[in-house]
Chain A
Amino acid sequence: MKNKWKDPRYAMKAPEGYFEDFENKLMNTIGKEEPKLKIWRSSWVGAVAAVMLLIIIVLFVVQWNSEKQRVDFAELTLEENWDYLLEYTDELTFEDFDAFEETEEALQSLEQELYGFANGEEFLNEIDLETIEILYE
Chain B
Amino acid sequence: MLNEEQIIQNIQSNIDVDAGFRQLVNAYKERIYWHIRGVVSTHEDAVDVMQNTFLKAYRNIKKFNADAKFYTWLYRIATNESINLLKKSNRYRNDDSENMLNHKEADVYLDGDEAVLILQRAIEQLPHKQRLVFNMKYFDEMTYDEISEILETSVGALKASFHHAKNKIEAFVKQQSL
Chain A interface residues toward B at CB < 8 A: 2-6, 8-15, 18-19, 22-23, 25-27, 29-30, 33
The dominant DSSP class at the B interface is helix
CB–CB A27/B34 < 8 A: no
Once the chains bind, are B55 and A13 in contact (CB under 8 Å)? Answer: no
Write the chain A residue with the least CB distance to B120: A10
Is the Cβ of B55 less than 8 Å from the Cβ of A26?
yes
**Cβ–Cβ contact B34 & A5, under 8 A:** yes
Interface of A is mostly: mixed
Q: Determine whether the beta carbon of B18 is less than 8 Å from that of A27.
A: yes
Selecting from B4-12, B89-97, B107-115, B142-150, the interface stretch reads B107-115
B15 contacts across to A, CB distance below 8 A: none
How near does chain B come to A129, taking the closest CB pair, in angstroms?
A: 101
B22 at the interface (CB under 8 A from A): yes
* A3 contacts across to B, CB distance below 8 A: 34, 37
A15 in complex: contacting residue of B41, B43, B54, B140, CB < 8 Å: B43
- Give me 11 other A-B pairs in contact (C-beta within 8 A), A6-B139, A11-B111, A12-B111 excluded: A5-B31, A5-B139, A6-B34, A8-B139, A9-B135, A10-B104, A10-B116, A10-B120, A11-B120, A13-B109, A14-B37
CB contact between A30 and one of B18, B43, B117 (< 8 Å): that residue? B18
CB–CB A12/B135 < 8 A: no
User: Taking the nearest CB of chain B, how far is it from the CB of A46, in angstroms?
Assistant: 24
